[in-house]
Amino acid sequence: MRNYFSKILQVMTVITFLVLHNVYAQKDKTTLSFNTSVQYGSQSNNLSVLISTDFNGDYSLESIKSATWEDITKKIKLATDKILAESGEIDLAKNLVAGKPLYLAFKYNGQASTKPSQRGWGISNVTINYKGETKTLPIKDFKIVDNKENHEGATWIKGADMMRFRSNQSVKASESWAIVKIGE
C-alpha cells in the first residue's frame, strides 16, 4: 500500500510541476494574433505586418521610414478572400527589448497599374498576450499615416471593431500605415 501512495505522490508531483511550468511559461510569452479579410483587386503582397523597437513615436512618414521595421508577414496566415482568416499566434518574445517600446504596423503598399487592381484589406481582433495579460487592442488606438501622393481616397478607415484599407480600386501607387504601440 505504501508503494501505491508513493507512486501517486510522484505522479502528483510531476503533474504539479508541469502545470506550474506552463503557467510561468505563459507569463513570459508574448504573442500577437489578429484576423484579416481581403476583397476586390488582384495585386498580391500589398499588405505587410511589421514590428519596431526603435520607432520614435513621431507619426510622420519620414519618421516611420527612418525606423527599423522587421517584416513578420511570412509568419502569418493572411486571408485569401472576404471570409475572416485567423493569423495564428505570432511569437514576439525575441523582439522585446528591455526599456524600449514595441510598435506594430500594418502597411499597405499598392502598386500603380493600368487597370484597378489594388486590394481592400480588413483587420480586426488584434490581440496581444504581453507579460501574461491578454488584451484586444482597440482599433481606435491605431494611428493612420498616408503617403501624401495617395489619390482617390486610398487610406485606412477605422470602424468600431475593424479597420479597412480602402483602395478605391486606384490605379495610382498607394502607401498607408496603421501603427499602434503594443508594449513597454
Q: CA end-to-end span of the chain, whole Å?
A: 54
H or E element in which residue 20 lies:
helix 2-28
The pLDDT of residue 31 is above 60: yes
Asked if 129 contacts 25 with a C-beta cutoff of 8 angstroms, the reply is no
In this prediction, residues 4-24 reach a mean pLDDT of 49
The pLDDT of residue 16 is above 50: no
Q: What angle do CA 116, 126, 109 make, to 5 degrees?
A: 25
The pLDDT of residue 20 is above 60: no
In the structure, what pLDDT confidence band is assigned to residue 167 with cuts at 50, 70 and 90? confident
Between 171 and 161, whose confidence is greater?
161
Q: Give residue 22's pLDDT.
A: 40
Which residue stretches of 29-141 are H helix?
Answer: 61-66
% of residues, the chain, pLDDT over 90:
62
Asked if 57 contacts 83 with a C-beta cutoff of 8 angstroms, the reply is no
Mapping DSSP onto H, E and C, the string for 29-66 reads: CCEEEEEEEEECCCCCCCEEEEEECCCCCCCCHHHHHH
Cell of 63: 519618421
Checking DSSP bridges between strand 47-52 and strand 70-71, what pairing results, if any?
antiparallel
In this prediction, residues 20-36 reach a mean pLDDT of 67
Q: Give residue 23's pLDDT.
A: 38
Q: Which residues share a beta bridge with 107?
A: 48, 177
Closest by CA to 168, choosing from 148, 156, 152, 157, is 152
Q: Give residue 46's pLDDT.
A: 93
Q: Give residue 35's pLDDT.
A: 98
In this prediction, residues 11-20 reach a mean pLDDT of 47
Dump pLDDT digits (tens) for 50-88: 999 999 999 999 999 999 999 999 999 999 999 999 999
In the structure, what pLDDT confidence band is assigned to residue 153 with cuts at 50, 70 and 90? confident
Cell of 92: 514576439
Asked if 127 contacts 34 with a C-beta cutoff of 8 angstroms, the reply is yes
Dump pLDDT digits (tens) for 113-146: 888 788 999 999 999 998 789 999 999 999 999 9
